[in-house]
Amino acid sequence: MSNKTKAVILMLISSFAFALSAAAVKLAGNLPVFEKVFFRNIVSVVIAFIVLRQKKMPAFGKLENQKYLISRSLLGILGMVLYFYAITHLVLADSAILHKLFPFFVTIFASIFLKEKISKIQIPALILVFFAALLIIKPRFDYSILPALAGFGCAVISGMAYTLVRFLRDREHPSTIVFYFSLSSLVILSPLVILDFQEPTFIQWIYLLMIGIFAAIGQFSLTYAYRFGKASDISIYNYSNIIFAAVIGFFIWGEISDIWSITGGSIIIIISIIVFIYNNRSKETSEVTPYLSDN
């Protein structure tokens, strides 16, 4: 088996695991969102700590990076709370589609704060993706729009958080970033969980455990996928999460997205594939004939 094949398989496993984690969030029912996020990150903090101990890496990072680690953690906590709220109240596939908008916001924030260049195709793509998202959100003036807005807000916040992760990638070990974020979420959410703690039933305890376990499987599979393959070759397979979420949602709850959500989701996936192919071809052209690269 080639490294690229391994990478693709691991990416599919990651997407499936994240879809199962999202399904467990929804299956946990009426438990407070803060409680779900809290227990999800208990598993993450334990695994990240074990990895850091094995590699003998610092758990809390360098002093000069503290403001970036804190900012990433705060954004990550807010994004996860919004995502879990969206999962709980939306069709599972719709919440997955809205969450997968975050790479487009990474493009925007990375161009603003990290001075990364936006390719010619990304500007019209961003505009089309925004209007496609409106088909899923379906703007209206009542409280029923809140879950969709939470899903969209999660994508924006995640875009900010992953821009900071991109900034920190050569400055801190990935496990340090994960541990810092997970521990921060436990510390910050503890008072909220205590104030509004709802005793889970036996089956809800199982679902809470599943949230953390499947999220950890998804994260580790994703990490190793990028170790075996280039991001430019395999990142598109991350969108299989939407298909897995749709299938799981249908078989467990009989969920079927409406025509507007299906149209919006299809547009987002198609645009993502077009941008992916364009960027790959541009990269190949740049490597073979540098003078033709878009500088």
Q: What is the pLDDT of residue 238?
A: 85
pTM of the complete model:
0.87
In a domain, 162, yes or no: yes
Two structure tokens written together for 149: 């807005």
CA distances to 136, 153, 225, 240, 265 from 18, in Å: 21, 19, 14, 10, 18
What's the N-to-C CA distance of the chain in angstroms? 37
- Reduced to 3 states (helix: H, G, I; strand: E, B; else coil), residue 30 is coil
Weakly modelled stretches of the chain, pLDDT under 70: 1, 231-232, 282-295
The Cα–Cα gap between 30 and 41 comes to: 19
In a domain, 58, yes or no: no
In a domain, 122, yes or no: yes
Q: What is the pLDDT of residue 252?
A: 93
In a domain, 279, yes or no: yes
In a domain, 111, yes or no: yes
Provide the residue range defining the domain that includes 292. Answer: 67-77+94-171+258-295
In a domain, 209, yes or no: no
The Cα–Cα gap between 203 and 227 comes to: 36
Task: Look at the chain and report how many structural domains it folds into.
Answer: 1
Q: What is the pLDDT of residue 152?
A: 94
Q: What is the pLDDT of residue 200?
A: 93
DSSP state of 155: H
Q: What is the pLDDT of residue 267?
A: 92
Q: How does DSSP assign 189-230, residue by residue?
A: HHHHHHHT-----HHHHHHHHHHHHHHHHHHHHHHHHHHHS-
In a domain, 202, yes or no: no
Q: What is the pLDDT of residue 232?
A: 62
The Cα–Cα gap between 18 and 29 comes to: 18
| Helices 33-55 and 3-27: angle between axes, nearest 10 degrees | 150
Q: 28 phi and psi, to 5 degrees?
A: -65, -10
In a domain, 211, yes or no: no
Two structure tokens written together for 22: 């999202």
Residue-wise pLDDT tens digits, 88-145: 999 999 999 999 888 888 888 888 888 888 777 888 888 899 899 989 988 877 778 8
Q: CB–CB of 91/257 below 8 Å? A: yes
Cα four-point dihedral sign 108, 170, 294, 276: negative
Q: What is the pLDDT of residue 19?
A: 95
- Pure H helices in 28-143: 33-55, 66-89, 92-99, 102-113, 122-137
